[in-house]
Amino acid sequence: MIYDYAGMVALADPTRRKVFELIADRPRSVIDLTRVLPVSQPAVSQHLKVLKEARLVRAEPKGASNIYHLDPHGLGEMRAWLDRMWGDALDAFKREVDNSKEKRK
């Protein structure tokens, strides 16, 4: 199984998940996000940094603002990673069931 679960870690924090969801709703600037969230602007910036490094969002400078969008590439990668993990887990479970059936014969 593969290593890259940065996205998982990124989305495990409740505030950061909120940030992600707000951006998923529609692209927003840092100030925009800060206005809605119960944390300071630097806190928001730091969460955005984590999300960006996990390739879940990307920044697009617009004047003095920085508009954050979803990053479809990273999103796709995480999706693929999750699918793989799920496949492995379910395959293993299936093998286990078959195995116990085998034994019962």
Give the distance, in angstroms, between the CA of residue 50 and the centroid of all CA atoms in the same chain. 10
Instruction: Dig out the tokens for 32 from the structure.
Output: 């925009």
C-alpha dihedral sign at 47, 56, 29, 13: negative
For tokens 């990053």, name the residue: 71
Interacting partner of 48 out of a second copy, DNA, none (Cβ under 5 to 8 A depending on kind): DNA
Write down the least CB distance from residue 53 to a second copy, Å.
15
Q: In angstroms, rounded to a whole number, what is the distance separating the alpha carbons of residues 45 and 23?
A: 13
3 state SS of 68:
strand
| Interacting positions 27-66 with DNA (CB under 7 A) | 29-32, 34, 38-50, 59, 63-66
Are 57 and 48 in contact by the 8 Å Cβ rule? The answer is yes
Specify the residue, 20 or 34, whose C-beta has the smaller distance to a second copy: 20
Write down the least CB distance from residue 86 to a second copy, Å.
6
Interacting partner of 8 out of a second copy, DNA, none (Cβ under 5 to 8 A depending on kind): a second copy
Contact footprint for a second copy (CB under 8 A)? 1, 5, 8-9, 11-12, 17, 20-21, 24-27, 69-70, 72, 75, 79, 82, 86, 88-90, 92-93, 96
